[in-house]
Amino acid sequence: MTLDATARVNVTDILCIGAQKASTSWLHHVLNAHPRTYAFPNSRPVTSTNKEAHFWDWNRKRGIDWYRELMTPPDADRLSMDFTPEYSTLSEGDIAECRRLNPGARVIYVLRDPLARAVSAIRMHTRWRSGDAEAEALEVAFDDDFLALVKRAGLNAMGSYVANYQRWARHYDDILVLNYEDIRADPAAMVARVFDHCGLTLDEMPPEARAEFDQRMQKRVWASVRYPVSTEALHFLHGLLWPKREAAESFFGLRFEEWREVLGER
């Protein structure tokens, strides 16, 4: 029996708003093993696989009914998920509309050191442009193409964690903020926090689902190709994003250390 989409309180029950290249794909993959979560059917290229609906950036023209139909699970007790990192940079008006559609959504924001996140994003965008066959031989140089890529990849907007959070917090007063470095250090503890935030438990999982969950906890999803980024490009990004790192550390009371690893690669 098809669930009446209009009867649902939220179009989307679990919203992960980013950041891009901060393990959101891995987190979605892990949560999707839980029997009470629901990932919409892969509708690529309209959506990005079964993870990113891209309603407010790519698909707003399709209308709310399209989004509602996409996100409606087959069973009323399942929680629909939309993990679209670009949502972190939405305008005030779009976030207000999101709240109207999803008044009880559980919102998650995963932060990553701005430099490390930017380098991973630069590598991802460069790989998309070159294709997998050429990616291993690439090096990102500090040139006009690089500067254009910095703008095209939206590094300033994506790295503005405090401003992005504040816009969202004016509409959602219980946003779960996680540090990517904590996920790397203790993924089980971070997933437990996400489960608690979303009202999920491991006890609800039958043995088959729990076995799949345990396997997914060990996987990496969409790892970047680690081809070289020039020293000049790294230091440009380091200087550009340093104020954003300091602002986020002060505001959220956390520490980013991954930038030391990035600069130590050279």
Sheet holding 37-39, edge to edge: 37-39, 79-83, 14-16, 106-111, 176-179
Structure tokens, 140: 């990102």
Name which of 8-17, 75-84, 138-147 the model is least confident about.
138-147
The Cα–Cα gap between 194 and 175 comes to: 11
- Say whether pLDDT at 188 is over 60: yes
Q: How far from the centroid of its chain's Cα atoms is residue 89's Cα?
A: 12
Task: Return the exposure string of 119-130: e unless at least 16 CB atoms fall within 10 Å of the residue's CB, then b.
Answer: bbbbbbbbbeee
- Placement of tokens 């993990």 in the chain: 83
pLDDT digits (tens, 9 = 90+) for 32-61: 999 999 999 999 899 999 999 999 999 999
Give the integer Cα–Cα distance in Å for 119 and 152.
14
Domain ranges of the chain: 5-264
C-alpha angle 10-53-23 in degrees, rounded to nearest 5: 100
Q: What span, in angstroms and rounded, lies between the C-alpha atoms of 181 and 171? A: 27
* Structure confidence by residue, pLDDT tens digits, 145-170: 999 999 999 999 999 999 999 999 99
The predicted model scores a pTM of 0.93
> Does residue 263 register a pLDDT over 80?
yes
Topology classification of domain 5-264: Rossmann fold (3.40.50)
**H helices of 131-230, where?**
132-135, 144-152, 155-159, 161-169, 180-185, 187-198, 207-217
Write down the pLDDT at residue 133: 47
